[in-house]
């Protein structure tokens, strides 16, 4: 099965690091990704730019809306992800614990599934 390790980091956290600290954190993440790739467990990995350059698109009341970042109400931002393959839930959780980002961020583990999942339907109130 495939799982996504979604890195949630506090907004502005990157700006608190020195350049050396930022490079060291990035190097640790790259090494982690290289290890996963060598083990055949990595399908994709990306680091994301800060939300300052992000744009949110929605359609409210039938009208398209665009909101440029940064987003004042956000306390966290998605900083990047690792898309895993050939792992089960327990291994995905273990890899999230091993991810260097878990030392300074929250790593969310999500299985890939259709947008309508029978397990979700079974838990939904009638």
* Ordered domains of the chain (ranges, CATH): 3-123 (3.30.70.1060)
- pTM for the structure as a whole: 0.83
Q: What tens digit of pLDDT does each residue of 36-74 get?
A: 999 999 999 999 988 888 898 999 888 999 988 877 777
Could you give the strand order of the β-sheet that contains 42-47, starting from the edge strand earlier in sequence? 42-47, 76-84, 3-10, 106-111
Whether 13 has a pLDDT exceeding 80, the answer reads yes
pLDDT value at 89 more than 60: yes
The full DSSP string for 49-92 is --GGG-EEEEEETTEEEEEESP-TT-SEEEEEEEEE-S--HHHH
């Amino acid at each position: 099965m495939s799982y996504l390790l979604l890195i949630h980091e506090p907004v502005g956290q990157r700006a608190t690091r020195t350049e050396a600290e930022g490079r060291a954190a990035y190097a640790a993440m790259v090494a982690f990704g290289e290890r996963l790739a060598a083990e055949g467990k990595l399908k994709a990995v990306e680091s994301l730019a800060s939300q300052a350059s992000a744009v949110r698109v929605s359609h409210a009341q039938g009208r398209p809306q665009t909101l440029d970042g940064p987003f004042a109400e956000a306390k966290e931002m998605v900083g990047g992800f690792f898309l895993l393959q050939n792992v089960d839930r327990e291994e995905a959780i273990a890899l999230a614990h091993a991810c260097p980002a878990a030392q300074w961020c929250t790593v969310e583990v999500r299985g890939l599934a259709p947008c309508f999942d029978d397990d979700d339907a079974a838990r939904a109130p009638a």
